[in-house]
């Protein structure tokens, strides 16, 4: 990043996942699948499911309270709230505005960002630049999803993958030598039809026909998305490292989007990293889209996997198609 800008880093992390657990054995009773097949193909054993009363802002609120406490920052000090989500509470107001009200962060600007599973990295880049230029002092960045609300539990190809949860971080200035060193963001809109929710927007408003056609649920061309992910995860991380001027051998921890264990393993191979240098928790939560990386990051911080001075690489891919990576010195 430009040396004239203020160094920006993460001051506190937090996560929240709903209480309800949906296991592979329970899915066996719902669709034609089995635990061995799911674990072998994805690495997922269970996922968390929001209650009927919970929306993305509720999950975001719980994660944000923890992040703010860990950062030693009050809601009144927050200047900016960005919520990365593809499952907002509603079309508008934004989930970020709803969260702002829940927290009592009265002076903060607030908006949602939609980049699917890459949304958290996109949001970090936005918030970091606001702080680096001196526009704002503190920002709250949240990845929050209730993917169970848009998952078709009669589709065995997708219902095994997704779960609910939220992760949050507080950003602010940090000492020289610490903080974000680079961001790599990208998109390929031509791949949009490979992973989407077709109905509910201005192109295809809700109608009896869209409901009957299950167009309000996640559609994914699995094999094509898998090929894209295997290619882009490693290359995006490599490009972020190149921009930061940091060698692969200096990476202490990879925090990837938690979509599929085989995709994560391919990224590790590309970066010449062993699995002990990777934060993996998809066996517990499945794919939580924009929530995956911040939940994994919060767990890494909670469990002592990260210490001051460590070099972290955050990387994800998602619908759009989009991708994002960042290099961060803790």
Indicate which residues carry an active-site annotation: 117, 257, 287
User: Which of 98, 3, 9 shows the shortest CA–CA distance to 310?
Assistant: 9
- Per the CB < 8 A criterion, the answer to whether 83 and 120 are in contact is no
- Per the CB < 8 A criterion, the answer to whether 181 and 329 are in contact is yes
Cα 157 to Cα 31, 69, 117, 199, 214, distances in angstroms: 10, 39, 18, 19, 14
Cα 40 to Cα 32, 34, 82, distances in angstroms: 16, 10, 35
Which stretches of the chain are assigned E, i.e. beta strand?
Answer: 8-16, 20-23, 46-49, 80-84, 109-113, 139-146, 164-173, 179-187, 195-196, 219-220, 253-256, 311-318, 322-329
Cα 2 to Cα 125, 137, 236, 252, distances in angstroms: 13, 18, 20, 24
Q: Quickly count: other Cβ atoms within 10 Å of residue 209's Cβ.
A: 10
Per-position DSSP letters for 55-107, written without gaps between them? -HHHHHHHHHHHHHHHHT--GGG--EEEEE-SS-SSSSS-HHHHHHHHHT-TT
What CA–CA distance (Å, rounded) separates 140 from 150? 26
What CA–CA distance (Å, rounded) separates 112 from 140? 12
């Amino acid at each position: 990043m430009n040396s004239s800008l203020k160094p920006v880093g993460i001051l506190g992390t937090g996560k929240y996942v709903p209480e309800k657990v949906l296991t592979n054995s329970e899915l066996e009773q719902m669709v034609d699948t089995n635990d061995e097949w799911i674990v072998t193909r994805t690495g997922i054993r269970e996922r968390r499911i929001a209650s009927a009363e919970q929306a993305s802002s509720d999950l975001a609120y719980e994660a944000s309270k923890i992040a703010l406490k860990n950062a030693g920052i009050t809601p009144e000090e927050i200047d900016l709230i960005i919520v990365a989500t593809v499952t907002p509470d509603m079309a508008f107001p934004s989930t970020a505005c709803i969260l702002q009200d829940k927290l009592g962060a009265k002076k903060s600007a607030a908006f949602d960002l939609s980049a699917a599973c890459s949304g958290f990295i996109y949001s970090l880049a936005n918030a970091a630049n606001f702080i680096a230029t001196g526009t704002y002092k503190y920002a709250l960045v949240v990845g929050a999803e209730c993917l169970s609300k848009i998952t078709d539990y009669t589709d065995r190809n997708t219902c095994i993958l997704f779960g609910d949860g939220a992760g949050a971080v507080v950003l602010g200035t940090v000492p020289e030598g610490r903080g974000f060193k680079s961001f790599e963001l990208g998109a390929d809109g031509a791949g949009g039809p490979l992973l989407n929710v077709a109905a509910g927007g201005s192109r295809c408003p809700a109608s009896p026909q869209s409901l009957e056609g299950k167009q309000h649920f996640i559609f994914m061309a699995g094999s094509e998305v898998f090929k894209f992910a295997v290619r882009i995860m490693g290359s995006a991380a490599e490009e972020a490292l190149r921009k930061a001027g940091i060698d692969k051998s200096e990476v202490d921890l990879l925090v990837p989007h938690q979509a599929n264990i085989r995709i994560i393993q391919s990224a590790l191979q590309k970066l010449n990293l062993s699995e002990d240098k990777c934060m993996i928790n998809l066996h517990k939560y499945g794919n939580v889209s924009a929530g995956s990386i911040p939940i994994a990051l919060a767990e890494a911080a909670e469990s002592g996997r990260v210490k001051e001075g460590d070099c972290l690489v955050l990387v994800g891919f998602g619908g759009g198609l989009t991708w994002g990576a960042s290099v961060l010195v803790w």
